[in-house]
Amino acid sequence: MADHHHHHMEPTGAKLADAARATLEARNEQWTPMRAAIFDALAAEDRPASAYDIADSVSKARGKRVAPNSVYRILDLFVTNNIAMRVESANAYIANAHPGCQHDCIFLVCRACKQATHVDDDKVTDNVRAVAEHEGFHAERPVIEILGTCAKCAA
């Protein structure tokens, strides 16, 4: 798999929600009003958001409390269907701007501003999978997270 980069304009707002909806529906999952509200709240975040952040945001928008448990279930469904990605070290999620692309994730996570930059480099992740395989280990979904300081915070 050659690496490719998504430097063109990332889909945002309604276009991103449409892509997410199409991806879920293609997998025979329903795009319910609650799923839409959770996806919109996630996509509106400028950094990885926890299920609690999303529950608060959706609760405020709907005027009634949404339990973090139901948000977790929906976020897990989103991750399983590649419309969201989980930043393991932050126990938080980001919307996937490219739900049609299957990549193992590399996240550059800034300890200062909590921003997570998603990078696709299939050469690196293919090597990680090869190392796992060499050890007799079947990798399901490698997630590589590099903790440090982003260029903005370092300046």
Question: Are residue 91 and residue 37 in the same domain, yes or no?
Answer: yes
Question: Are residue 125 and residue 56 in the same domain, yes or no?
Answer: no
Asked if the structure places residue 150 within a domain, the reply is yes
Question: Are residue 44 and residue 68 in the same domain, yes or no?
Answer: yes
Question: Are residue 25 and residue 64 in the same domain, yes or no?
Answer: yes
User: Quick one: pLDDT at residue 143?
Assistant: 80
**Tokens found for residue 147:** 């903790």
CATH number of domain containing 148: 3.30.1490.190
Point out which residues pair with 49 in neighbouring strands: 93
Q: Which of 11-20, 73-82, 132-141 has the highest mean pLDDT?
A: 73-82
Residue type, 50: S
Range of the domain at 18: 13-95
Percentage of residues in the chain having pLDDT higher than 70: 90
Domains identified in the chain, total number = 2
Q: Is the pLDDT of residue 4 over 50?
A: no
Question: Are residue 116 and residue 88 in the same domain, yes or no?
Answer: no
Mean of the per-residue pLDDT values of the chain: 87
* Residue 107 parent element (H or E): strand 105-110
49 CB neighbour count, 10 Å cutoff: 26
Tens-digit pLDDT profile for residues 52-108 = 999 999 999 999 999 999 999 999 999 999 899 999 888 899 998 877 677 787 889
